[in-house]
Structure 1
Amino acid sequence: MSAPLFAQVNAPSTAPTLFYLLIILIGVIVLLLCIFLAKYFNLWIQAKMTQANVSIWDLVGMTFRKVNPNIIVRSKIMAYQSGLTEKDGVTTRALEAHFLAGGNVPNVVRALIAANRADIPLSYKRAAAIDLAGRNVLEAVQTSVNPKVIPCPDPTQGRQTIDGVAKNGIQLKVKAKVTVRTNLDRLVGGATDETIIARVGEGIVNAIGSADTHEMVLERPDSISKRVLEKGLDAGTAYEILSIDIADIDVGDNIGANLQALRAEADTRVARAKAEERRAFGAAKEQEMLAHVQENRAKVVAAEAEVPMAIAEAFRKGNLGINDYYQLRNIQADTEMRSSIAGTGNAVRREVAPSPQ
């Protein structure tokens, strides 16, 4: 009986060992859970103290959804501290969705706060849409509160002045400043600074070109801005044009005189070309006439060569007497003498007819 009792006393007890292992496992799980929740505890306390309404489980879910909880919680705290609530669209889900879409959550919240303080109607959906469209929504709100000035033309584009020509041909060089305010309703899809500068430049050139003389523009520079503003140049843009101020006007070249000089030079060249054409045509005509003269002279010589033969034939046939022949020779000699006296040149005495045998 003593041996079994000794075996029971010395046998290892498995129940306490399992109990201790279970206690250790529970302790490790609690420790890991505390460590896991400790990194969100500070954010949860901040949200709880500011009534931002972000639970600890929302923070845990953000981790699994790959959302940075620091940005969401601090943005929501900033919104709630400024008087924005979930009724204004600033909810935890909306902020998370905007973050996952690649938006700048703090910038959107700051824009909403600025618009709320300036009493500008701006909803969270519109602010998020503006941000996702690639526009700086905070800068847009600030520009809507404090209008900005756009130089026209933009010096960074390489142009210093806008050049226009009045009806009298005088060139004017203008520098202008355009004061604009952001139109939040047209910010998404609206044109920006480049379009405003191009339209204002076109309007200034048109206004200068409509003036009869450059003195009229110099006397009343405000007529340019009034004429440009009447065209409604801010249509389809993200801005509302408040004013167009003419900063400087300089008188440039006399474009009309330069054009007239160039036109006169071109006309001179055309006239010279036509004169040269007529001279060449006259020279060709002269050579053609000379050729005709030579041809006619050849015909005359050929005809004169037939005269002696005709006279000889007349002698043989008895149609021409000796008295007629000598009378013809006398007339010929008298004609040659008169030609020599008149100075028409030495006449070449031709043998009209052979001497009668």
Structure 2
Amino acid sequence: MGFDILALIVPIILILVVVVIFLSFVPLGLWISAISAGVKVSIFSLVGMRLRRVRADKIIRPLIKAQKAGMNVNANQLESHLLSGGRVDNVVDALIAAHRANLDLSFERAAAIDLAGRNVFEAVRMSVTPKIIETPWISAVAIDGIEVKVIAKVTVRANLGRLVGGAGEETIIARVGEGIVTTVGSSQSHKSVLENPDLISRTVLAKGLDSGTAFEILSIDIADVDIGRNIGAHLQIQQAEADKQIAQAKAEERRATAIAMEQEMKAEVERMKAKVVEAEAQVPMAMADALRSGNLGVMDYYKFQNVQADTKMKTNFADTDLTGVLHKEPPKDQK
């Protein structure tokens, strides 16, 4: 009796183990959902995804969505894109949106755009509904030296054919800024820019700024124009200040040179005075030698003394004014 019960329980346990193993490899609920949606997926395909460590729900659910939308996409394409690191659900949504909008977008191109790091679904939406890119304040200077600040709004549409390898929004903003600076910089006066802001739009559009980018520029509208600083006057003030400093430096250099020359002349005068004093000191010694050698007599010496006294007297008369007061330099302690 016990043997018969054991023989009955063992097969049941084995069957349960087999069922558990089968369900661990095969997402039965997902397979039933696919079959009910009309998507032909075999049990062996789901087992293969399990063995390749691919989450079946990331393949089956987008596949069901694509089949319901009438897209010709198979599980192998989706699995290959998922193994490449792509976003399968995003690609399928983009294909459905492009199909609804009558845009020519194949699975291969959508997968390439997704693998390039761009949001392919947003690109499709931008192709249908253009996007407005607003530039920051762009400063430019007209020929008259007045700064003009401009904000532009660029209406762009995604170009699905250039999304792979095409430049992004930053390039569009940079090129528009370059066009604004060129247009304002070539204007004779800032008033002409204020009077005709559409001149900026026409000039920028004529440059073909969307070449090599992932977008197609539809229009460029000038949102705001403002007047900034008088750059020309500011530069002239700075130049005048620089010229002033240069002139002051040169004047200080000439002054220092003149002072140095004055000091040199004073030193030269003192040196000449020292030579005169030295020469005068030699006169008594020369006279003494002349007396000793007989070249100068005593009477000659007395005549020389009389000449000196007479010269001193005449000098004193010259220093005396009509009132008879002798003008002499007061002593240093009375100054």
Q: Residue 66 of structure 2 corresponds to which residue in structure 1? A: 79
Q: Residue 221 of structure 2 corresponds to which residue in structure 1? A: 245
| CA 24–250 in structure 1, closer or farther in 2 if over 3 Å, else same | closer
Deviations 1:74-130 (A, max 9, x none): 322322332322xxxx22100111122222112101111212222222211111111
Is 1:337–2:324 an aligned residue pair? Answer: no
Q: Residue 355 of structure 1 corresponds to which residue in structure 2? A: none
Match of 2:157 among 181, 185, 189: 181
8 A contact 2:194–2:225 mirrored in 1:
yes
Q: What amino acid does structure 2 have at the position aligned with 1:58?
A: S
Match of 1:293 among 269, 272, 283: 269
CA distance in 1, matches of 2:188, 2:83: 61
CA distance in 1, matches of 2:151, 2:250: 47
Q: CA deviation at 1:166?
A: 1.4
What is the TM-score of this pair, normalised by structure 2? 0.80
Q: Residue 70 of structure 1 corresponds to which residue in structure 2? A: 57
| CA 42–226 in structure 1, closer or farther in 2 if over 3 Å, else same | same
Structure 2: state its 5+ residue gaps: 330-335
| CA 340–116 in structure 1, closer or farther in 2 if over 3 Å, else same | farther
Alignment of 1:201-280 (within 5 A): 201-280=177-256
Structure 1 vs Structure 2 CA RMSD: 3.6
Tell me the secondary structure at the aligned position of residue 317 of structure 1: coil
Q: CA deviation at 1:183?
A: 1.8
CA distance in 1, matches of 2:10, 2:89: 46
Tell me the secondary structure at the aligned position of residue 111 of structure 1: helix
Alignment of 1:1-357 (within 5 A): 38-48=28-38, 52-85=39-72, 90-153=73-136, 161-307=137-283, 316-317=294-295, 321=300, 325=304, 326=306, 330=310, 333-334=313-314, 337-338=317-318, 346=328
What is the TM-score of this pair, normalised by structure 1? 0.76
8 A contact 1:47–1:54 mirrored in 2:
no
CA distance in 2, matches of 1:259, 1:34: 83
8 A contact 1:44–1:55 mirrored in 2:
no
Larger radius of gyration between Structure 1 and Structure 2:
1
CA distance in 2, matches of 1:125, 1:301: 113
How many percent identity over aligned positions?
A: 51
Tell me the secondary structure at the aligned position of residue 167 of structure 2: coil
Tell me the secondary structure at the aligned position of residue 150 of structure 1: strand
CA distance in 1, matches of 2:146, 2:239: 17
| CA 338–240 in structure 1, closer or farther in 2 if over 3 Å, else same | same
Q: CA deviation at 1:284?
A: 1.8
Q: CA deviation at 1:201?
A: 2.0
| CA 214–47 in structure 1, closer or farther in 2 if over 3 Å, else same | same
CA distance in 1, matches of 2:13, 2:310: 166
8 A contact 2:49–2:56 mirrored in 1:
yes
| CA 308–94 in structure 1, closer or farther in 2 if over 3 Å, else same | same
